[in-house]
Amino acid sequence: MLTIRSRVPEHRRRSAALAAGLGLLVWCARAPEARASERVEIELLPAGEALFLADAGEPTVAPAEGEVVVIGRITEATFSVASIDQLAVTAPDGRVVPLLIEESSLFKEFSRIASPLRFAFRVREEETRDDAAGFTLAWGPNVRGPNRLVRRIVPDAAVRARYRTFRPRVPIRSEFSQEYTVIADSAVEYHFLWYLLPMAVLLALLTLRKIRARDPVDAAPS
């Protein structure tokens, strides 16, 4: 827990506020890369009829003997990765399962892959029993999965009993958890404008970035 008490001279409070503002600005700029990895336990469920109606056509992902294919989609609002290898499914025995990611489901936001994202993976048939331990889905900068893109994910309706979908079993958890508390002494006079400085600087940088994005070519010198 971080506690800040204002019992220092005025000029030092101003310097501290400026330093904190600059630190906040740097953190905001690096937030996508510094975001902690997240994970959620998933529960495998029998595939519904909608899965086969929505993906009619020549099957592209069929289970081999003794296998079950799981097809699902990430819809979490917090999902964001830099590349497809920053996503992994861990089986009950601890192994990382290779994922087949449907290329048409890739959605990018600020140059990062975001939800929804559709993928499939193969598991052993005995791992899908009711008494089997759960699977874990994880994503983030510290995650590595042996994944690859495929054009389409189409199940084989002739063996529909050997397909599954999934749903989250518990809420999403982050690898890191921090609590910050700021305690202010009421007897001290604050110059609140200093606390608006980081917001103003950040707004100015975002505006400049938008202007440069609209006109990326510098004007030729006269």
- Same domain membership, residue 194 and residue 95: no
- Same domain membership, residue 45 and residue 69: yes
- Same domain membership, residue 202 and residue 169: no
pLDDT digits (tens, 9 = 90+) for 25-46: 444 444 444 456 888 999 999 9
- Same domain membership, residue 58 and residue 133: yes
Q: What would the mean pLDDT of 109-123 be, rounded to a whole number?
A: 93
- Same domain membership, residue 124 and residue 97: yes
Instruction: With beta carbons less than 8 A apart as the criterion, state whether 81 and 122 touch.
Output: no
Residue 41 domain flag: yes
- Same domain membership, residue 9 and residue 107: no
- Same domain membership, residue 182 and residue 150: no
pLDDT digits (tens, 9 = 90+) for 175-197: 544 433 333 444 444 444 555 77
Q: What total of structural domains would you count in the chain?
A: 2
What pLDDT does 94 receive? 92
- Same domain membership, residue 168 and residue 58: yes
SS3 38: strand
Residue 217 domain flag: no
- Same domain membership, residue 98 and residue 75: yes
Domain that holds residue 118: 37-174
